[in-house]
A and B are shown apart, each in its own frame.
Chain A
Amino acid sequence: MRSETRISVAVAGLGVGQAAPDFTLQATPDQSIALSELRGRPVVLVFYPADWSPVCGDQIGLYNELLGEFVQFGAQIVGISVDGVWCHAAFVRDRKLHFPLLADFEPKGAVARLYDVYETRSGVCERALFVIDAQGIIRWRHVSPIGINPGADGILQALESLPKAPMAEA
C-alpha cells in the first residue's frame, strides 16, 4: 500500500504549494533524520547524483562555504544522494562538511522517487533543489542539468521570498 501511495505522488509530480512528503533517512551509521523533525524552520533539500563526482563536490562544497548565508534565514540544508552512510561519512570528513548528507540507499532512491527526481537510467538522484517553508510546504523547486552546478542564488532568492513565519501560532 505504502509503495502505491509513493508511486501516485511521483506520477502527479511534486510542485510548489504542495506539502513536502515526509521521509526518514540515515545521516550516519547510527543516526537518522526525519523531514518532519525539521518542521518550524525552512529546509533546503539538495538532491545530487553522487559523493565525490566533480560537479557534486563543487556544489556541496559551495553550500558548505555558504552555510552562513542559509543560517540568516534560519534554514537547515540537507543533502540527499543514493550513496550509503559510510560513503557519506568519508565524504563529510574529507570535505569538512557541516551539514548532514542523507543516504537514500535502501530501498535505493525511494525518497528521490517520492520527490519525482530519480534518474532511472543511471540510478542516481537528479540534481534537484527544494525549498520547504517552516510549515512543510514546498515553495521552490529547481532541477538542473546533471552536469551543471546550480549555485546558491536560486535557493537564497527562494528563502528571501518566504513569508516571515509567525513566531507562535496560538
Chain B
Amino acid sequence: MSRLTPPAGADDHAQGALDSPLVLVEYGDFECLYCGLAYPELKAVQRAMGDELCFVFRHFPLREVHPHAERAAELSEAAATVGRFWDMHDTLYENQTALSDRDLVEYAQRLDLDEDLIDSARLGRFAARIQRDVSSGARSGVNSTPCLFLNGTRYDGPVIAASLMRSLRS
C-alpha cells in the first residue's frame, strides 16, 4: 500500500533527471503552512544531493481549508507554459502569507506572464492538470500535506533535511 501511482514521468514538474538514482516527489499545497516549512528543508536536500536527486512537485491543494491554494496552483501551471514553473513555485512558497488574487497577479507580472494567460488560468484552463495530480495523490496514499515519496514509497518521517537525507542515503 501507499506506492506512488503513477511514477514520476515526463508530464511532471521535475528538477533533475527522471532517471536519477533518487527521485523525491512532493504532493504540496502552496497555502499549506507545513508545506511552507518543508520548502527550505527540501531546498537544502536538493543542494546537498546535487545530481543524484530528482525533485518532482505535484499539486494537492486542500481547497476547503485553503481558499487561495487552487488559484496559486493554477498560476504555477500558467507559469509552466512559459517554462517558469519553478520560479513561480519558489515565489509562492517564499510569499506564502500573501496569496490574495492581487498578490498572485503581481507575482505573475514579475514573471512577465501575459494577461490572457493569467485570465485563462483563472477560468480553469489548468483545472484538469491539477485534478490529475490530486487524483494520483489520492491513489498513492497521500494522507496530509506535504506528502513525500522517496523512489515511489511514501516517506512518513519528519520533513527536515537531516532526516530526509538519512533516508535518501540509506
Contacts and interface: CB of A to CB of B under 8 A. Distances in A.
Mutual binders A and B: yes
Interface of A: 58-59, 61-62, 64-66, 68-69, 95-98, 149-154, 156-157
Contacts, number: 50
A66 B2 contact: no
A58 B141 contact: no
Contact of A151 (B64, B134, B141): B141
A104 B134 CA distance: 31
B129 to A, nearest CB: 15
B128 interface: no
A95 B65 contact: yes
18 contacts: A58-B144, A61-B62, A61-B64, A65-B62, A65-B63, A65-B64, A66-B138, A68-B131, A95-B65, A96-B64, A151-B142, A152-B139, A152-B141, A152-B143, A153-B2, A153-B138, A153-B139, A156-B139
B10 interface: no
B46 interface: no
Nearest to A149: B143
Main SS of chain B's interface residues?
Answer: loop
Interface string B106-143: 00000000000000000000000001001100111111
B15 to A, nearest CB: 26
Main SS of chain A's interface residues?
Answer: helix
Given A98-B64, A152-B138, A152-B139, 7 more contacts: A61-B65, A97-B64, A149-B143, A151-B141, A151-B142, A152-B143, A153-B2
B147 to A, nearest CB: 8
A65 to B, nearest CB: 5
Interface residues of B, number: 17
Contacts of B62: 61, 65
Contacts of A65: 62-64, 134
A156 B63 CA distance: 20
Contacts of A153: 1-2, 5, 138-141
A62 B141 CA distance: 11
B144 A154 contact: no
Nearest to B60: A65
B4 to A, nearest CB: 10
Contacts of A154: 1, 141
Given A150-B143, A151-B143, A156 B138 contact: yes
A101 to B, nearest CB: 15
Nearest to A98: B64
B140 to A, nearest CB: 6
Nearest to A144: B143
Contact of B135 (A64, A69, A150): A69
A162 B105 CA distance: 45
Contacts of A64: 64
A42 to B, nearest CB: 16
